[in-house]
Amino acid sequence: MSGAVRAGLLICAVIAIAESQYDNCFDVESTIKRILDPNDTTVCICAYNGATVVKGMDLTFTQTSVQTLIDSFDALNGTKFGRIRIKNSSLNELPEDIFEIVEPQELILDTCELKHLRVSPMGNSAQYLKKLIVRNNTIHRVERGFFAGMKNLYRLDLSNNDISLIDADSFQDLRELRELFINRNFISDIEDFTFSKLKHLRQLVMLDNTLKSIKKNTFAGLDNVEMLVLNSNQLNEIDWTAFSNMKKLSELNLGKNKISKVELKGLPQLQKLYVPDNQVKAMKNVMLRDLPSLSLLALDKNGIKSLGAIAFQGLSKSIGLATLSLASNNISQISHRTFTVLRNLKTLALQENEIQNLTVDEISFLAPLKKLKNLFLSNNKLTTIRINELPNSLVQLSLDHNLINRIEPKAFDGLSLKRLYINKNKIQFLYHGAFDGMTPDNLEAIDVSSNPWQCVCRNAAEWLPRWLEEAEEADVSEGPLGCLAIPGCGKKEGEQKLKPGEQETPEWITVSATILAAISLILLLAIVILYFKDIAPPKLIRAHRADSDLHKLIENDNLSNFADSCIMVTPMLKKPNSTSNGEKKKVRFEEN
- Integer angstrom CA distances of residue 564 from 553, 559, 561: 17, 9, 5
In this predicted model, what pLDDT tens digit does every residue of 549-575 receive, in sequence order? 433 333 444 433 333 433 333 333 334
pLDDT at res. 459:
85
Distance CA 322, CA 320 (A): 6
Coil, strand, or helix at residue 520?
helix
Give the contacts of 289 (CB within 8 A, at least 6 positions apart): 264, 265, 266, 314, 317
Enumerate long-range contacts of 510-518, CB under 8 Å, 24 or more apart: none
Q: Are 387 and 360 in contact (CB under 8 A)?
A: no
Residue 430 scores a pLDDT above 50? yes
Residue 72 scores a pLDDT above 70? yes
pLDDT at res. 46:
86
Distance CA 592, CA 586 (A): 19
Confidence of residue 40 (pLDDT cuts 50, 70, 90): confident
Coil, strand, or helix at residue 564?
helix
Confidence of residue 20 (pLDDT cuts 50, 70, 90): low
| SS3 readout for 475-489 | ECCCCCCHHHHCCCC
pLDDT at res. 17:
38
Distance CA 94, CA 115 (A): 10
* Strand 359-360 to 363-364 pairing: antiparallel
Distance CA 354, CA 416 (A): 27
Residue 346 scores a pLDDT above 90? yes
Which helix (H) or strand (E) segment holds residue 406: the answer is: strand 406-407
DSSP string over 423-479: -SS------TTTTTT--TTT--EEE--SS-----TT-TT--HHHHHHHTGGGB---S
pLDDT at res. 495:
52
- Number of C-alpha atoms within 13 angstroms, CB side, residue 470? 13
Other Cβ atoms closer than 10 A to 472: 10
- Integer angstrom CA distances of residue 412 from 20, 219, 383, 580: 78, 50, 16, 122
- Calculate the CA dihedral of residues 249, 255, 261, 265 and round it to 10 degrees: 10
Q: Is 538 exposed, middle or buried (0-12, 13-18, 19+ CB in 10 A)?
A: exposed
**Which amino acid belongs to residue 469?**
E
pLDDT at res. 314:
96
Strand residues in 38-173 grouped as ranges (E): 43-48, 57-62, 83-87, 106-110, 131-135, 141-142, 155-157, 165-166
Distance CA 45, CA 28 (A): 9
Residue 498 scores a pLDDT above 50? no
Give the contacts of 200 (CB within 8 A, at least 6 positions apart): 175, 176, 177, 178, 224
**Which amino acid belongs to residue 51?**
A
Which helix (H) or strand (E) segment holds residue 5: the answer is: helix 3-20
- Integer angstrom CA distances of residue 247 from 53, 71, 264, 274, 340: 30, 50, 12, 17, 28
Coil, strand, or helix at residue 48?
strand
In this predicted model, what pLDDT tens digit does every residue of 78-93 receive, in sequence order? 889 999 999 999 999 8
pLDDT at res. 510:
62
Q: Are 356 and 383 in contact (CB under 8 A)?
A: yes
- The structural domains of the chain, ordered by start, are 19-186 (3.80.10.10)
Give the contacts of 285 (CB within 8 A, at least 6 positions apart): 260, 261, 262
- Integer angstrom CA distances of residue 53 from 101, 105, 204, 498: 21, 10, 22, 57
pLDDT at res. 21:
65
| Average pLDDT in the chain | 85
Is the Cα dihedral 110, 112, 115, 118 positive or negative?
negative
Pick the closest to residue 398 from 446, 331, 457 (CA basis): 446
Residue 235 scores a pLDDT above 50? yes
pLDDT at res. 506:
57
Coil, strand, or helix at residue 199?
coil
pLDDT at res. 507:
59
Strand residues in 182-322 grouped as ranges (E): 203-205, 213-214, 227-229, 237-238, 251-253, 262-265, 272-274, 286-289, 296-298, 306-307
Segment 91-104 mean pLDDT: 92
Higher pLDDT, 440 or 292: 292
Angle between helices 66-75 and 25-35 (to 10 degrees): 130
Strand residues in 164-250 grouped as ranges (E): 165-166, 179-181, 203-205, 213-214, 227-229, 237-238
Confidence of residue 121 (pLDDT cuts 50, 70, 90): very high
In this predicted model, what pLDDT tens digit does every residue of 275-317 receive, in sequence order? 999 999 999 999 999 999 999 999 999 999 999 999 999 999 9
Residue 195 scores a pLDDT above 50? yes
Pick the closest to residue 72 from 55, 89, 92 (CA basis): 89
Is the Cα dihedral 43, 48, 51, 55 positive or negative?
positive
Percent of the chain with pLDDT over 90: 64
Q: Are 66 and 98 in contact (CB under 8 A)?
A: yes
Give the contacts of 297 (CB within 8 A, at least 6 positions apart): 273, 288, 315, 321, 323, 324, 325
Residue 589 scores a pLDDT above 50? no
Distance CA 310, CA 299 (A): 16
Lowest mean pLDDT segment, chosen from 30-34, 128-132, 180-184: 30-34
pLDDT at res. 543:
41
